[in-house]
Amino acid sequence: MTQRLFAPITLLLVLIFLIGPFLIIVAASFSAGDTLAFPPQGFSFKWILKVFTVESFRDSFVMSMFLAIGGTFAALLLGIPAAYAMSRYKLPFSETVRTIVSAPIIVPGIIVGLALLRYFVVPIGLSITLALFLAHTALVLPYAVRVVSASLNNLRSDIEEAAVLLGSSRLGAFFRVVLPNIRGGILSAFILGFVTSFNQVPVSLFLSGPGVRTLPVDMLGYMEIVFDPSIAALSSLLAFLSIGIVFAAERFLGFSRYV
């Protein structure tokens, strides 16, 4: 009897611990009161609507979107050829290349941000936006290489060798044979990179200037000053956005096969 109850009770408690706080945030964002509280005082959409009127949120949202989309795109442009070289060629120093390319995943983001600030932004005068773009690209690169490598390794290499033997150029074989077959992997890498970059805080912490900062860093700053439910509202909106994206990816791509 006790054993029967063990599993459901454990799962219930763990789920309350893992998901409960998020549900509270969602509830708090529909509050009508002026301070963050649970249970929420009354019901209104005013905090959800307020999020869209705060100018700094709009600016930092655009910045985060730009970094997440642009940075991931750049990381894929660099990562796909690298992954292809590592899986299909006898690449000299391939272990070294792999280590360098995947190093950004091991080093804590705050250090990368600080290093870029100290050696690129301050002495050379690199713009903060560009530094952010480079940092986010480097951050996503390991994921891009890993996910694309995995789907290349699942694809038999003789089909492109066959295409080459039948007279296709190497490049033609890549674009007409390989690329269509790893499309799912590339899209999955894009989504993983997008979510990683968008939610990333430490890398962007030091890289902020007047009017230039990412949305999560902006939220951190805002919550230190103002104690109203707008951060809860914004958090819920963002959470539903990422959950929606990942769910759609799982539905249409079988996302979890790739990551």
Partner 1 sequence: MFQNRAEALALALPAAIFAGLVFLVPVILLLSEGFRSADSWSLSAYADFFSQPLNRTVFLRTLKLGAIVTAAAAVIGYATAYAIVSLPPGAKGRMIGLVVLPLMISPVARTYAWIVILGRTGIVNQALMAIGLSDEPIRILFSETAVFIGLLQLFLPLMVISLISALENLPKDVVPAARVLGANWFQVFWKVILPLTREGLVVGGTLVFTGSMTAYITPAILGGSKVLMLETLLYQQVTVANNFVSASVIAFILIVMSFAANILLKRVATARNKR
Q: How many residues bind partner 1 (CB under 8 A)?
A: 78
- Contact between 43 and partner 1 by CB under 8 A: the answer reads no
Tell me the C-alpha distance between 247 and 253, whole Å: 10
Which residue do the tokens 């993983």 mark?
192
> For residues 44-63, which are near partner 1 according to CB under 8 A?
none
Contact 205, 217 (CB under 8 A): yes
- Per CB under 8 A, the segment of 31-39, 49-57, 65-73, 177-185 that binds partner 1 is 31-39
- Contact between 199 and partner 1 by CB under 8 A: the answer reads yes
> For residues 9-28, which are near partner 1 according to CB under 8 A?
10-11, 14-15, 17-19, 21-22, 24-25, 28
Tell me the C-alpha distance between 6 and 8, whole Å: 6
- Between 30 and 206, name the residue whose CB sits nearer to partner 1: 206
> For residues 136-195, which are near partner 1 according to CB under 8 A?
137-138, 141, 145, 157, 170, 195
Residues contacting 133, CB < 8 A, separation 6+: 66, 67, 70, 71, 74
Residues contacting 11, CB < 8 A, separation 6+: none
Which residue do the tokens 């964002």 mark?
29
Taking CB under 8 A as the rule, which mask of x and - marks residues 61-100 in contact with partner 1?
-----------------xx-xx-xxx-xxxxx-x-xx--x
Residue of 104, 184, 185, 193 interacting with partner 1 (CB under 8 A): 104
**Beta-carbon count within 10 A of 243 CB:** 12
